């Protein structure tokens, strides 16, 4: 066996010829110590204002690509082929079911493109306050567009079911899967000092060189992160943001419950006489509470919330410039919104036919299927952050997005119905109000201690499966608030 030893200045590896004067050798100079010292210096605060959906938490740098290419070349965008197919199916009469499913799958990548364009526009503003307001108002743009189209069709029950399902999927499914995957998968970081591996092909030997060794940069570099299944793992996070969001969710549950109980005890009153005025006034109060919540996040307690939800692990943040200009990002948002509007219009128009032909409950479609459209990419991001041992980001995505829907999108829908003369109210029915209230209480009991494990995630997912089974078997003629 040949003796292999590290190569330093003026020495060679025994049994291997030295390459003198090569360009790669010229790059390996004795100033590596100064280069490593420069890496340890704090990095400037990054310039982008990309925020986690529904929160004021900065997202990690986006390394998926540059500009429009990085947004449009995402593998999920292959589903965009369903958009022209959905339009053709509607125009050429291929069938209601095909029209529904083509537009359903087309909306998934469109939601991601719209979300990315919103992030790039916020990053291009280079103003944390404006970026936070943009994220707080347009973070659920797809849900708002679908709500508008469904309300124009007069399907108030589907509107309520979709909004309720968006809250439940984020609170139970997304948060549960994040805690479960983060509790069983360990993401170990390798040392930052560059390592190289020499492989002796004849003997099958592998030798690693680490700190203090000058190496050939042409040799392979091992991965920075390794993942493995672990048997015992508890993730810790700051409970401040989670408790603030769950408190806001309890406020929204209170408003739904009061209106629902009021209607059940005064059944002789007509909707136009008492229910709509009460719902609209309550919606104004809820939106004012949401504005106070945004002011709390972005102004008075901005530093405290940033420290509580910092995605870093003691490492300095990387500097990141916006990938798109503000004009390009705004244009992409406009185009994506128009296409989402068309797809959602065709989707809503075919909804009744799918319920009749496929035999799927209207409640199941509204509460379980439709929320997948706007939240699929956020679901994947939350799970990825949990595996990266950043549970604070996962909670920010799941609970923060639920807060945005319940305190902004729901009252927005009521006020929008007022503007377009549609009887949208806050009477979600006793069953749906109970499901949402109990779900919020369960999540509160999970996040209150600031720790998460896989069992808590499994329990949250089990609760979501129970709710899905309930609405699968719930007949369409039951629950007047939904039908």
Q: pLDDT for 338-363, tens place per residue? A: 888 888 888 888 887 887 877 788 88
pLDDT of residue 309: 52
Q: Which residue in 85, 235, 162 sits closest to 482, CA to CA?
A: 162
pLDDT of residue 281: 92
Per the model's pLDDT, the better-predicted residue between 462 and 141 turns out to be: 462
481 pLDDT above the threshold of 50: no
Q: pLDDT for 60-98, tens place per residue? A: 555 444 567 777 888 888 988 999 999 999 888 888 888
Per the model's pLDDT, the better-predicted residue between 442 and 242 turns out to be: 442
The answer to whether the CB of 449 falls within 8 A of the CB of 443 is no
The answer to whether the CB of 154 falls within 8 A of the CB of 174 is no
Question: Which has the minimum average pLDDT: 247-261, 319-333, 349-363, 415-429?
Answer: 319-333
466 pLDDT above the threshold of 90: yes
- Burial environment of residue 78 by CB neighbours within 10 A (0 to 12, 13 to 18, 19 or more): exposed
pTM of the model as a whole: 0.72
Average pLDDT over residues 395-416: 88
Q: pLDDT for 230-275, tens place per residue? A: 667 888 887 777 888 888 899 989 998 998 888 888 766 655 678 8
Per the model's pLDDT, the better-predicted residue between 377 and 52 turns out to be: 377
CA 344-51-251 angle, to 5 degrees, is 75
pLDDT of residue 411: 92
Helices and strands of the chain, counted as H and E runs:
20, 6
134 pLDDT above the threshold of 50: yes
Backbone angles phi, psi at 409, to 5 degrees: -70, -40
420 pLDDT above the threshold of 60: yes
Of the chain, the percentage scoring pLDDT greater than 90 comes to: 13
> How many beta carbons lie within 10 A of that of residue 17, not counting itself?
7
CA 187-192-196 angle, to 5 degrees, is 100
CA 431-401-62 angle, to 5 degrees, is 150
306 pLDDT above the threshold of 50: yes
* Token pair for 97: 């079911």
Backbone angles phi, psi at 219, to 5 degrees: -75, 155
401 pLDDT above the threshold of 80: yes
- Contacts of residue 210, defined as CB under 8 A and 6 or more positions apart, other chains included, come to 191, 193, 195
Average pLDDT over residues 195-209: 43
The rounded radius of gyration (Å) of the Cα atoms in the chain is 26
**199: β partners:** 206
322 pLDDT above the threshold of 70: no
SS3 30: coil
pLDDT of residue 319: 46
Average pLDDT over residues 380-394: 81
Average pLDDT over residues 143-162: 85
């Amino acid at each position: 066996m040949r003796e292999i030893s590290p190569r330093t200045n003026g020495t060679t590896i025994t049994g291997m010829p030295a390459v003198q004067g090569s360009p790669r050798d010229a790059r390996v100079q004795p100033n590596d110590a100064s280069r490593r010292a420069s890496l340890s210096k704090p990095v400037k605060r990054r310039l982008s204002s990309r925020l986690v959906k529904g929160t004021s938490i900065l997202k990690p740098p986006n390394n998926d690509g540059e500009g429009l290419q990085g947004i449009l070349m995402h593998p999920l965008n292959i589903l965009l082929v369903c958009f022209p197919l959905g339009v053709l199916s509607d125009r050429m009469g291929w069938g209601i079911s095909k029209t529904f499913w083509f537009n359903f799958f087309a909306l998934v990548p469109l939601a991601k493109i719209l979300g990315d364009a919103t992030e790039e526009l916020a990053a291009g503003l280079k103003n944390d306050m404006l970026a936070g307001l943009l994220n707080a108002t347009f973070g659920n743009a797809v849900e708002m567009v679908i709500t508008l189209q469904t309300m124009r069709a007069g399907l108030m029950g589907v509107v309520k079911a979709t909004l309720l399902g968006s809250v439940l999927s984020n609170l139970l499914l997304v948060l549960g899967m994040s805690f479960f995957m983060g509790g069983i998968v360990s993401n170990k970081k390798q040392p930052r000092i560059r390592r190289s591996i020499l492989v002796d092909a004849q003997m099958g030997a592998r030798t690693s060189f680490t700190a203090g060794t000058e190496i050939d940069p042409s040799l392979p570099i091992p991965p920075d992160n390794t993942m493995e299944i672990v048997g015992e793992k508890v993730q810790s996070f700051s409970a401040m943001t989670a408790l603030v969001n769950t408190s806001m969710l309890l406020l929204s549950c209170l408003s739904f419950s009061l209106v629902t109980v009021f209607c059940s005890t005064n059944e002789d009153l007509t909707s136009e006489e008492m229910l709509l005025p009460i719902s609209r006034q309550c919606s104004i109060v809820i939106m004012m509470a949401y504005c106070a919540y945004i002011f709390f996040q972005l102004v008075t307690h901005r530093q405290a919330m940033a420290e509580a939800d910092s995605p870093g692990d003691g490492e300095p943040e990387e500097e990141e410039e916006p990938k798109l200009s503000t004009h390009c990002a705004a244009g992409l948002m406009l185009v994506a919104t128009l296409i989402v509007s068309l797809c959602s219009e065709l989707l809503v128009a075919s909804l009744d036919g799918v319920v009749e032909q496929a035999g799927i409950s209207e409640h199941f479609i509204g509460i379980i299927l439709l929320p997948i459209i706007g939240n699929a990419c956020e679901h994947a991001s939350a799970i990825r952050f949990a595996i990266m041992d950043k549970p604070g980001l996962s909670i920010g995505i799941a609970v923060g997005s639920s807060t945005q829907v319940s305190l902004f999108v729901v009252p927005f829908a009521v006020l929008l119905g007022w503007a377009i003369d549609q009887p949208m109210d806050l009477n979600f029915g006793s069953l749906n109000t109970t499901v949402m209230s109990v779900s919020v209480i369960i999540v509160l009991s999970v996040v209150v201690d600031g720790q998460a494990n896989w069992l808590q995630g499994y329990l949250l997912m089990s609760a979501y499966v129970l709710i899905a089974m309930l609405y699968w078997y719930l007949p369409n003629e039951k629950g007047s608030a939904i039908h």
